[in-house]
Structure 1
Amino acid sequence: MVITSSMQPEVRARYLKRQVEQIRDITADRVVELVVKIRSEEESADAFVDTVAEALKRRGLSTQARDLLPADQSTFDEGRKSKEGGEALRQHAESMSAQMSGSAVPSRVQLERKAVSALETFLQSDAVKESVAAVSAVPAAQRPEPMAPISFWTSSSAVLQVRDEDLDKLASREDIEGIYLNQRLSVPPVLTPKSVPSAVLDNKVSSWGLRMIGALSAWGAFGCKGDGVTIGLLDTGVDADHPDLRGKIAAWAEFNSMGQEIVGSKPHDSDSHGTHCAGVICGGNASGRWIGVAPAAKIAAALVLNGAQGGTHAQILAGMEWAINQNVDAISMSLGGLIMEPDVPSTYTRAILSAVKSGIPVVTAIGNEGHQTTGSPASDFLAFAVGATDHEDRAAGFSGGRTQVISESPVFPPQTLPLVYSKPDLSAPGVAVFSSVPGGQWQHMNGTSMAAPHVAGAIALLLSGTSIARPSRVPRDQKAFVIQDLLTGSARELGEAGQNHRFGFGRLDVLSAIGFARDLGY
């Protein structure tokens, strides 16, 4: 449960009190690191979110993937010509690409200014200053190294250290919508299989996943390999000197546990996970096999999971903001924390919403704990969640998926609630996937972590093979939805009719996605 702007003060107070109690149940530390979400009345009533939520509700009733294909390009053109056209777009919305008049969405600069102003007001308040300053008075043996608060406009959140005894005072503020422990997340578990099926090894030209999703055919049929596209990869880092990735790291950043950027950091991989994911997105054929879905694409890599130490919510939120500010074309996150209940936390919702409003799909791995489990942020309503399949189009046993619920939310308007929806949205190759690892080597790995970058790479192919990336063709606030609808609407349908917990709407087919996009005028 998360608070809404419509909650009465006494209800909000009880909720925040329970959050404080939950934090104290988790840790007995004298000083705690928090992610504090600041309320935004204006965004709670955002017509954009209202429209998207209603469209996504209808989406859940679709019994075939093709129902999700976006409107013909001419529909956008008609909507630009008149107010009536804009209203027609709203009523036409049968999929995630629900339309609304473009002028209703504030620019990213406007959104940033409003969020920064609210965060500055919070951080400059006497109560917060006093709470933060009091940390230094705690004996060094009972606290972490004091760090200055940091804020992220994309998630309307601040990360700060406070004493346990100051939690109640903090929770009494009216401008707070939620308080979360800055919990640590592990690097997602992946497995190097002891034996690889001969049908996988028989793929001598490329990894089996590239052939299965139609990437090789898309290169030949449409002449696109991801040229001019940059994918934001938030992971354990990347080996920029790997022969399959050399020259493809367009930007780099590393963040500490509080979400502060580490000055002077150079590209490296603190594990092997990030380099493997990077190879799936844009690796070449240095091994003798093509491993990357979009070998001409670039990567903006952020280290938000530090090897054996893992990462934190603050690191991931920092990485998301950095990637959005880098103007990437999509964000790929093969990370997350296991969520045991169907109720979805709002830790990442505003950050994903900021990305979507900027035209950036957020591709997430659903998790590796099996059927009827999911991970956050993949469980988030607006995340583009991906499950894993094998070379015979069977769902991987470890791949997650289930029905999720949002009963109350600080983001979605009350009239759209409760939201009941399924995850994942799509599936992609995630078993015995051959890709790069640090030190100029290659390995086969299992995991939904391997499936998500297939989708991110497919986005690069889709953008380089169509006109979707041109602002004159697709409105900025609809770009992410058009991309997601084309990929889900063109999927090879597997399992139950419509969306199901094992495959989503089906297995990724980027060749068909580009074909449908061109047929629809994109």
Structure 2
Amino acid sequence: MKKKPLYRTFICAALIGTLLAPGTVKAEAGTEAKAKVQNKISNSLYKNFEKKEKVTFLIKMKDQANLQQSAKAAEKRAKASIMTVKRVKQLKRSAVLASLRAKADRTQKDVKTYLEKEEKKGAAKQLESFYIVNGIAVTATKDVMEKAASFPEVEKVLPNKKINLNKAEKATIDANTSAAARPASNIQQVHAPDVWKKHYKGKGAVVASIDTGVEWDHPALKKKYRGYNPSKPNSPDNEYNWFDATSKKKTPYDDLGHGTHVTGTMVGSEAGGKNQIGVAPTAKWIAVKAFSKDGGSEKDLLAAGEWILAPKDAKGKAHPEKAPDVVNNSWAGERGLNEWYRDIVKAWRAADIFPSFAAGNVSEFEPGGPGSVENPSNYPESFAIGAVDSTNALADFSLQGPSPYDEVKPDLSAPGVSIRSAYPGHRYATMDGTSMATPHVSGIVALMREANPNITVDEIERILLKTAKPLTDKTFEKSPNNGYGSGLVNALKAFTEAKK
């Protein structure tokens, strides 16, 4: 009789063992599944649950919309129909919004249904969906967080971190509220008055800020507010023009001063030629308050970014036709690779909203030097601005490139030392920082948009870099470089190139 091969016996024994111990397989599968879920969750988020039962966290979905494709297709259709520039832009922005919403509605559905059930049980609260990043913010228990992470459509679960404004020197109040009827020296430094002589001051363009708010009735800003109504000068229309992500107040205000100062550099001036502090004095401004004295949460900054893309009416309906031409971001996160805000910047660009970002400042926790430029300004899609003084020397607080993507950053520079601008209390103040440099560029974008309403974000970026005055020093001997970028922004040359 022929003997059975020994290896068959071993295989049979193994199979019998497996059948007799199904729990082993289940346990291994369960361990593997748990590991996959935990890999999606930030370690720092787990630490937050050590102190609180419920924590606010952000859920990012895997699938993101193809915005460039949507925007280009809409633009092509609109141009084929021989529409006005304004109408083409509206259709393009509407297409971007529709693409984002469709993706979010489809991919968030199951996760939202689960969270809504947990909300009714009391295990979750403050559920908020975002389409601009295809994500969800919610305050919930650890168990809810882990269950949400287990959905296959979820990519990451992250903590709701605090982001700080770019720390600037303390504001020095100017006792003189009636400066001479001539442009401020920093405004002259970027050659904005040379553009004004050609009768272009930003008319028809809209600038926005994500900051600490704005004192809307400041003498240099009141009539520049898009919500200003001459027939009711003290009762502005804030719908589409103002959003407070921090405390939902209905009328613009600024309890810190930073945002008012920034907005003043973009558009500020008083009647009769006094206090000519702004680059584009006939442009209109709108604003989002996302920062308080404790900084700004990532959740609030996501809401701010979404509102900029399509300002909302009183009922919460989005209106992409009310979006600004440029959004000023005089704030930053930290150095290094962190793409938490990158999808927002991409969405702005797809909608032809120019994204100006401060490169960031040296601080107690950031010593500066090579590679210190902070996110979101260090993204390839962000336009980062460094600071120079009145002699075009690099400010000692201005952060440097290269970016984590091995690109030159900042993109260019603007005046950021001893900048006099508007300040709450109907006052004026002098401040330093890349925060102060950035609105010079935002104002110049407004001038370019008046000169050529059809100009795209990509074209604006190319022109700004091409027309900047190259700057070098002993550390940065060639231009462009990781200190000054392509150099000092030049309003006249950029305007002239845009108008061609």
TM-score, length of structure 1 as denominator length: 0.72
- Residues 118-157 of structure 1 correspond to what in structure 2 (within 5 A)? 118-125=103-110, 128-131=112-115, 133-134=117-118, 147-157=125-135
- Residues 143-182 of structure 1 correspond to what in structure 2 (within 5 A)? 147-182=125-160
Which has more radius of gyration? 2
Q: Where do 5+ consecutive residues of structure 1 fail to align?
A: 1-9, 50-75, 82-102, 140-145, 197-201, 406-418
* Whole-angstrom CA distance in 1 between matches of 2:218 and 2:173: 25
Aligned residue for 2:19? none
**Following TM superposition, by how much is the alpha carbon of 1:311 offset from its aligned partner in structure 2, in angstroms?**
1.3
The percentage of aligned residue pairs carrying the same residue is 25
Over 3 Å counting, the alpha-carbon distance change for 1:253 and 1:47 in structure 2 is closer
User: Relative to structure 2, which stretch is displaced further, 376-385 or 284-293?
Assistant: 284-293
* Whole-angstrom CA distance in 2 between matches of 1:486 and 1:27: 49
Say which SS state the counterpart of residue 408 (structure 2) adopts: strand
Say which SS state the counterpart of residue 336 (structure 1) adopts: coil
Aligned residue for 2:14? none
2:192 to 207, 215, 227: 215
**Following TM superposition, by how much is the alpha carbon of 1:511 offset from its aligned partner in structure 2, in angstroms?**
0.9
Aligned residue for 1:510? 491
Q: Which amino acid aligns with 1:309?
A: D
* Whole-angstrom CA distance in 2 between matches of 1:195 and 1:112: 42
Q: Where do 5+ consecutive residues of structure 2 fail to align?
A: 1-31, 81-87, 228-240, 311-321, 363-367
* Whole-angstrom CA distance in 2 between matches of 1:337 and 1:481: 24
**Following TM superposition, by how much is the alpha carbon of 1:17 offset from its aligned partner in structure 2, in angstroms?**
1.3
**Following TM superposition, by how much is the alpha carbon of 1:157 offset from its aligned partner in structure 2, in angstroms?**
2.2
**Following TM superposition, by how much is the alpha carbon of 1:16 offset from its aligned partner in structure 2, in angstroms?**
6.2
* Whole-angstrom CA distance in 1 between matches of 2:302 and 2:490: 30
Aligned residue for 2:45? 23
**Is 2:414–2:437's contact at 8 Å kept on the other side of the alignment?**
yes
**Is 1:154–1:321's contact at 8 Å kept on the other side of the alignment?**
yes
* Whole-angstrom CA distance in 2 between matches of 1:448 and 1:225: 23
Aligned residue for 1:62? none
* Whole-angstrom CA distance in 1 between matches of 2:401 and 2:419: 24
* Whole-angstrom CA distance in 1 between matches of 2:116 and 2:480: 47
* Whole-angstrom CA distance in 1 between matches of 2:33 and 2:270: 58
Aligned residue for 1:35? 58
**Following TM superposition, by how much is the alpha carbon of 1:156 offset from its aligned partner in structure 2, in angstroms?**
2.0
* Whole-angstrom CA distance in 1 between matches of 2:303 and 2:61: 16
**Following TM superposition, by how much is the alpha carbon of 1:19 offset from its aligned partner in structure 2, in angstroms?**
3.7
- CA shift digits 1:300-339 (9 cap, x unpaired): 1111112x13211121221222122132111111112222
2:429 to 437, 443, 460: 443
* Whole-angstrom CA distance in 2 between matches of 1:487 and 1:497: 18
2:492 is the counterpart of 1:493? no
1:273 to 258, 261, 274: 258
Aligned residue for 2:325? 329
**Following TM superposition, by how much is the alpha carbon of 1:47 offset from its aligned partner in structure 2, in angstroms?**
6.5
**Is 1:379–1:404's contact at 8 Å kept on the other side of the alignment?**
yes
**Is 1:254–1:265's contact at 8 Å kept on the other side of the alignment?**
yes
* Whole-angstrom CA distance in 1 between matches of 2:418 and 2:152: 51
Aligned residue for 2:296? 311
* Root-mean-square deviation over aligned CA pairs: 3.3
Over 3 Å counting, the alpha-carbon distance change for 1:182 and 1:48 in structure 2 is same
Over 3 Å counting, the alpha-carbon distance change for 1:358 and 1:186 in structure 2 is same
- Greater relative contact order, per chain length (Cα 8 Å cut-off, separation 6+): 1
**Following TM superposition, by how much is the alpha carbon of 1:12 offset from its aligned partner in structure 2, in angstroms?**
13
Aligned residue for 2:350? 357
Q: Which amino acid aligns with 1:420?
A: D
2:274 to 280, 288, 310: 288
**Is 1:192–1:443's contact at 8 Å kept on the other side of the alignment?**
no
2:224 is the counterpart of 1:235? no
Over 3 Å counting, the alpha-carbon distance change for 1:111 and 1:516 in structure 2 is closer
* Whole-angstrom CA distance in 2 between matches of 1:107 and 1:290: 35
* Whole-angstrom CA distance in 2 between matches of 1:448 and 1:12: 45
**Following TM superposition, by how much is the alpha carbon of 1:393 offset from its aligned partner in structure 2, in angstroms?**
0.3
* Whole-angstrom CA distance in 2 between matches of 1:296 and 1:135: 48
Say which SS state the counterpart of residue 147 (structure 2) adopts: helix
Give the count of matched residue pairs: 416
- CA shift digits 1:211-263 (9 cap, x unpaired): 1000111111x211111110111111101111100121215333345xxx82x
